[in-house]
Amino acid sequence: MSEEQSALVLFSGGQDSATCLAWALANFAVVETIGFDYRQRHAVELDCRPRFLAKLKQQFSNWAANLGPDHRLDLSIVPALGETAMTSETEIKLASNGLPTTFVPGRNILFFAAAGALAYRRGVKHLVGGMCETDYSGYPDCRDDTLKSLQVTLNLGLDARLVIHTPLMWRDKAATWALAEELGGKDLVDLIVEETHSCYRGDRTKRHEWGYGCAACPACELRANGWNRYKSAH
């Protein structure tokens, strides 16, 4: 399999990365996945990953043969770099810098450095991430400029020609739901609702029309609002 035909998807277990996984399966012959355990407060997303992958293979036979190995890396160094509401029980609120306290400085930079190294070792050229700066929490490492810069840095540092794809960068959450429907129909939308997790608090006790979550954190609010706009357009 040539590098041009393979991709590595940063798959957290959440809605956005699950949609990006489907996008990658529709565009590449072989797709591998990578997830990160950084002692996140919502570690339940890591439990969702294998269930989602297994059901994706069961329900979408046309993609099953294209789905390669799943990788899970331990990045437990992240909490040691400083406390955030994403890695501790700290209150989720806006900080003095205007960013939510869920912002983990350098997280996506670290993720792409690790994913780039793995892709290099496995002969994979394309990296796919669910970063977006349309409906998002304002994280600077989700911005298009950041990802373009990371691509340049990885290629210089690895002496490689990796390509970073961000299919959701200019889509709001309603358009992300619509993309999932376009890629896999109602079955994929239902699978994302039922088997992914995007709530920052890791609350999987409450089932809403748009999925599981506390319905109050920034991630839940973005997801719910996007779902409502998506459904109103149907």
Say how many residues make up the chain.
Answer: 234
What secondary structure letter does DSSP report for 55? H
Which of 136, 130, 124 shows the shortest CA–CA distance to 166? Answer: 130
With a CB cutoff of 8 Å and minimum separation 6, the contacts of 97 are none
Angle, helices 15-27 vs 173-195, to 10°: value is: 100
pLDDT in tens, 144-189: 999 999 999 999 999 999 999 999 999 999 999 999 999 999 999 9
C-alpha 73/C-alpha 8 separation (Å) is: 14
pLDDT band at 2, cuts 50/70/90?
low
- % of the chain residues with pLDDT over 70: 99
CB 27 within 8 A of CB 7: yes
Note the pLDDT of residue 81. Answer: 85
CATH number at residue 82: 3.40.50.620
Q: How far apart are CA 79 and CA 77, in angstroms?
A: 6
pLDDT for the residue numbered 164? 98
Q: How many structural domains does the chain have?
A: 1
Tens of pLDDT, residue by residue over 10-68, are: 999 999 999 999 999 999 999 999 999 999 989 999 999 999 999 999 999 999 999 99
E strand or H helix at 108, and its extent?
Answer: helix 107-122
Between 168 and 135, the higher pLDDT residue:
168
CA angle (168 as vertex; 162, 174 as ends), nearest 5: 170
Domain range holding 108? 3-232
Return the ∠ at Cα 131 (arms to 127 and 132), rounded to 5°: 140
What does the block give as tokens for 131? 């970063």
